[in-house]
């Protein structure tokens, strides 16, 4: 039995300001009905004794530990750059701004 009628789909489409043809209304009423039935089935299974999950597989952190390390030597980094000035990278100007 359909829980969403063609008229309900037309009303929601009108509220969303979506123009649908009669064929689209019929097709969407059927498709939305399948979605509503699927959600109802999941709701039956999702009882309080079933823990909520955000992912079907258990996730673990694959990142390394966040350990403070000494910073990279700025002079060594700037020495490897194509151009530098005043302790900063020098890049070509791309906007029409004053330098």
pLDDT above 60: residue 50: yes
Tell me the CATH class for 6-45: mainly alpha
| HSE-up (13 A, CA, CB side) for residue 83 | 4
pTM: predicted TM-score of the whole model, two decimal places: 0.46
C-alpha distances out from residue 61 to 52, 66, 77, 81, 98, Å: 19, 12, 31, 34, 47
What ranges do the domains of the chain cover?
6-45
Q: What Rg, from alpha-carbon coordinates, does the chain have?
A: 30
Q: Which of 1, 23, 2 is nearest to 10 (CA)?
A: 23
* Mean pLDDT, range 74-78, rounded to an integer: 93
- 39 vs 46: CA distance, rounded Å: 10
Confidence of residue 4 (pLDDT cuts 50, 70, 90): confident
Q: What pLDDT was estimated at residue 98? A: 67
pLDDT above 90: residue 2: no
């Amino acid at each position: 039995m359909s829980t969403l009628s063609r008229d309900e789909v037309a009303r929601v489409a009108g509220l969303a300001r979506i123009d649908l043809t009669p064929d689209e209304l019929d097709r969407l009423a059927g498709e939305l009905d399948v979605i509503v039935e699927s959600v109802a089935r999941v709701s039956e299974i999702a009882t309080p004794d079933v823990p909520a999950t955000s992912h079907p597989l258990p996730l673990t952190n694959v990142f390394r530990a966040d350990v403070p390390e000494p910073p990279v030597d700025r002079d060594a980094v700037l020495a490897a750059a194509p151009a530098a000035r005043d302790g900063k990278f020098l890049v070509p100007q791309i906007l029409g701004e004053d330098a």
